[in-house]
Amino acid sequence: MKRNTAMWIGWTAALGCAASLAVSAGAEDAKAAKEQFFPLLVYRTGPYAPNGTPWANAKQDYLKLINARDGGVNGVKLTYEECETEYIKTDRGVECYERLKDKGPTGATLFDPQSTGITFALTERAPVDKIPLLTVGYGRAEAQDGMVFQWNFPLLGTYWTGADILVQYIAKREGGPEHLKGKKFALVYLDAPYGKEPIPLLEERSRTLGFELVKIPVTSPGIEQKAVWLQVRQQRPDYVLLWGWGVMNSTALKEAQETAFPRDHLLGIWWSGAEPDVKDVGEGAKGYTALTIQYGAGVSKVQSDILKYVHDKGQGTGPREEVGTVLYNRGLIIAMLSVEAVRRAQEHFGKGKPMTGEQVRWGLENLALDQKKLDALGFGEMLKPFATSCSNHIGASYARIQTWDGTKWVAGDLYEADQKLITPMADKTAEAYAATKNIAIRTDCKS
Amino acid sequence: MLYRENGQFKTSYDADQQLLPIAQDRWFVIALAAASFVLVPLAAGDYALRALIIPFLILTIAAIGLNILVGYCGQISLGSAGFMGVGAYVAYNLTVRVPQLNFLVTLVLSGGAAAFVGMVFGLPSLRIKGLYLAVATLAAQFFLDWAFVRVPWFTADSTSGSVSTNPIVLLGWSIERPVDKYLLVLGLLCVLTLAAKNLTRSHIGRAWMATRDMDVAAEVIGVRPVVAKLSAFAVSSFYAGVAGALWGFVHLGSWEPAAFEVSMSLNLLFMIIIGGLGSMVGSYFGAAFFVILPLLLNRVPEMIGIDVSTAMKSHMEAMIFGGLIVFFLAVEPHGLARLWAIGKEKLRIWPFPH
Amino acid sequence: MSTHTSPIRWLRRAWPVVVLATLLALGLAAPLVSGAASLGFFLEVLIGGLMAGVLYALVALGFVLIYKASGVFNFAQGAMVLFAALATARLSEHMPLALAVALALALMIGFAWLVERLVLRPLVNQSAVSLLMATLGISFFLEGFGQAIWGNDIYSIDLGLPKEPMILGAKLFEGGILVSRDDLVAASVVGALVLVLGLFFQKTATGRALRAVADDHLAAQSIGIPLNRIWVIVWSVAGFVALVAGLVWGSKLGAQFSLSQVALKALPVAILGGLTSIPGAILGGLIIGVGEKFAEVFLGQALAHWFHLEGGGIENWFAYVLVLAFLLVRPEGLFGERHIDRV
The parts of chain B modelled with pLDDT lower than 70 are: 1-2, 159-160
Question: What is the distance between the alpha carbons of residues C287 and C266, in angstroms, rounded to a whole number?
Answer: 12
Rounded to 10 deg, the angle between the C205-215 and C181-203 helix axes is: 80
Neighbour-count burial for C270-292, b at 16+ CB within 10 Å, e otherwise: bbbbbbbbbebbbbbbbbbbbbb
Question: What is the distance between the alpha carbons of residues A282 and A275, in angstroms, rounded to a whole number?
Answer: 10
CA distance A192 to chain C (A): 12
pLDDT, residue B159, reads 67
Question: What is the distance between the alpha carbons of residues A70 and C143, in angstroms, rounded to a whole number?
Answer: 42
- B102 DSSP assignment: -
Instruction: Tell me chain B's radius of gyration from C-alpha atoms.
Output: 21
Instruction: Give one word for B237, left, alpha or beta, with left for phi > 0 and alpha for psi -120 to 50.
Output: alpha
**Adjacent-strand bridge partners of A186:** A214, A240
Cβ atoms < 10 Å from Cβ of B156 = 13
**Adjacent-strand bridge partners of C177:** C168
Domain-embedded: residue A108: yes
Cβ atoms < 10 Å from Cβ of B256 = 27
**Adjacent-strand bridge partners of A404:** A409
ipTM: 0.87
Cβ contact (<8 Å) for A120 and B164? yes
User: Which of A45, A123, A433 is the best mutation test for B, with the most CBs of B within 10 A?
Assistant: A45
At which of A292, A315, A332 does a domain end? Answer: A292
Cβ contact (<8 Å) for C178 and A50? no
Mean pLDDT of the A85-108 span: 86
| Residue-range domain boundaries for chain C | 37-329
CA distance A162 to chain B (A): 17
- Chain B positions in Cβ-Cβ contact with residue A220 (cut-off 8 Å): 258
Could you tell me if A148 and A170 lie in one domain? no
At which of A231, A265, A292 does a domain end? Answer: A292
pLDDT, residue B58, reads 97
User: Residue A397 pLDDT > 50, yes or no?
Assistant: yes
* Cβ of residue A49 closer than 8 Å to a chain B Cβ: yes
> Over pLDDT 90: what percentage of chain A?
43
- Chain B positions in Cβ-Cβ contact with residue C140 (cut-off 8 Å): 318-319, 321-322, 325
Looking at the partner chain, which of C134, C144, C320 has a beta carbon nearest the beta carbon of B318?
A: C144
C37-329 CATH fold: ABC transporter involved in vitamin B12 uptake, BtuC (1.10.3470)
Domain-embedded: residue A175: yes
Nearest one of B254, B175, B302 to A113, comparing CA atoms: B254
Q: Which domain holds residue A245?
A: 160-292
Looking at the partner chain, which of B142, B151, B319 has a beta carbon nearest the beta carbon of C317?
A: B142
Nearest one of A141, A147, A227, A134 to A188, comparing CA atoms: A227
Within 247-266 of C, beta carbons closer than 8 Å to A belong to 252-254, 256-259, 261-262, 265
- Chain B positions in Cβ-Cβ contact with residue A191 (cut-off 8 Å): 149, 161
Cβ contact (<8 Å) for B150 and C342? no
Mean pLDDT of the A270-294 span: 88
Question: Please, which chains are in contact with A (at least 3 CB pairs closer than 8 A)?
Answer: B, C
Reported as a pLDDT band with limits 50, 70 and 90, residue A1 is: very low
Give me the tens of pLDDT residue by residue for chain C, a chain 343 residues long. 455 667 788 777 777 778 888 888 888 888 777 777 788 888 888 888 998 899 899 999 999 988 888 888 898 999 999 999 999 999 988 999 899 999 999 999 999 999 999 998 888 777 777 888 899 899 999 999 998 998 888 888 888 777 778 787 777 777 778 888 888 888 898 899 988 988 888 889 888 888 888 777 788 889 988 888 888 999 999 999 999 999 988 888 888 888 888 888 899 999 998 888 888 999 999 999 999 998 888 888 888 778 877 767 788 899 999 999 888 888 778 887 776 666 6
Reported as a pLDDT band with limits 50, 70 and 90, residue A408 is: confident
Q: ∠B165-B166-B172 over CA atoms, to 5°?
A: 140
Cβ atoms < 10 Å from Cβ of A283 = 12
Question: What is the distance between the alpha carbons of residues B67 and A16, in angstroms, rounded to a whole number?
Answer: 28
Looking at the partner chain, which of A6, A21, A26 has a beta carbon nearest the beta carbon of B292?
A: A21
B43-349 CATH fold: ABC transporter involved in vitamin B12 uptake, BtuC (1.10.3470)
CA distance A384 to chain B (A): 31
Domain at A236, CATH number: 3.40.50.2300
- Chain A positions in Cβ-Cβ contact with residue C152 (cut-off 8 Å): 44-46, 49-50, 53
Question: What is the distance between the alpha carbons of residues C45 and A31, in angstroms, rounded to a whole number?
Answer: 63
Nearest one of A370, A373, A376 to A396, comparing CA atoms: A370
Closest alpha carbon within chain B to C328: B127
Instruction: Give one word for C224, left, alpha or beta, with left for phi > 0 and alpha for psi -120 to 50.
Output: left
User: Which of C161, C257, C303 is the best mutation test for A, with the most CBs of A within 10 A?
Assistant: C257
Tallying the residues shown for chain C, one arrives at: 343
Strands (E), A388-430: 398-404, 409-416
For residue range A4-42, list pLDDT tens digits in order: 555 666 566 666 656 555 555 544 444 557 899 999 999
CA distance C183 to chain B (A): 27
For residue range A99-151, list pLDDT tens digits in order: 889 888 888 999 999 988 889 888 888 998 999 999 999 988 889 988 899 99
Interface A–C counts its CB contacts (< 8 A) at: 105
Q: Could you tell me if A400 and A415 are in contact, meaning their C-beta atoms sit under 8 angstroms apart?
A: yes
**Adjacent-strand bridge partners of A218:** A190
* List of residues 6+ apart from B101 with CB closer than 8 A: B94, B95, B109
Strands (E), chain B: 163-164, 168-170, 173-175, 254-255
- Chain C positions in Cβ-Cβ contact with residue A259 (cut-off 8 Å): 165, 178, 180
Tallying the residues shown for chain B, one arrives at: 354
Cβ contact (<8 Å) for B319 and C314? no
Cβ contact (<8 Å) for A82 and B310? yes
Could you tell me if A149 and A165 lie in one domain? no
* Cβ of residue A89 closer than 8 Å to a chain C Cβ: no
CA distance B141 to chain C (A): 8
Looking at the partner chain, which of C119, C267, C313 has a beta carbon nearest the beta carbon of B135?
A: C267
Q: Could you tell me if B189 and B283 are in contact, meaning their C-beta atoms sit under 8 angstroms apart?
A: no
CA distance C67 to chain A (A): 27
Closest alpha carbon within chain B to C131: B329
| Alpha carbon distance, N-terminus to C-terminus of chain A | 79
pLDDT, residue B330, reads 87
Looking at the partner chain, which of A11, A24, A196 has a beta carbon nearest the beta carbon of B161?
A: A196
User: Which of C253, C297, C301, C310 is the best mutation test for A, with the most CBs of A within 10 A?
Assistant: C253
For residue range B120-154, list pLDDT tens digits in order: 999 988 888 877 888 889 999 999 998 888 888 88
pLDDT, residue B107, reads 95
Sequential DSSP letters for A318-360? S-GGGTTSHHHHHHHHHHHHHHHHHHHHHHHH-TTSPPPHHHH
* Cβ of residue A213 closer than 8 Å to a chain B Cβ: no
Nearest one of A233, A186, A262 to C175, comparing CA atoms: A233
Could you tell me if A325 and A383 lie in one domain? yes
Rounded to 10 deg, the angle between the C262-273 and B130-150 helix axes is: 130
Cβ contact (<8 Å) for A217 and C311? yes
Return the SS3 of C338.
coil
A413: phi then psi, degrees, rounded to nearest 5: -80, 160
Q: Could you tell me if A250 and A257 are in contact, meaning their C-beta atoms sit under 8 angstroms apart?
A: no
Residue-averaged pLDDT of chain A:
87
pLDDT, residue B206, reads 95
Looking at the partner chain, which of B129, B150, B322 has a beta carbon nearest the beta carbon of C313?
A: B150
| Residue-range domain boundaries for chain B | 43-349
Question: What is the distance between the alpha carbons of residues B266 and B66, in angstroms, rounded to a whole number?
Answer: 11
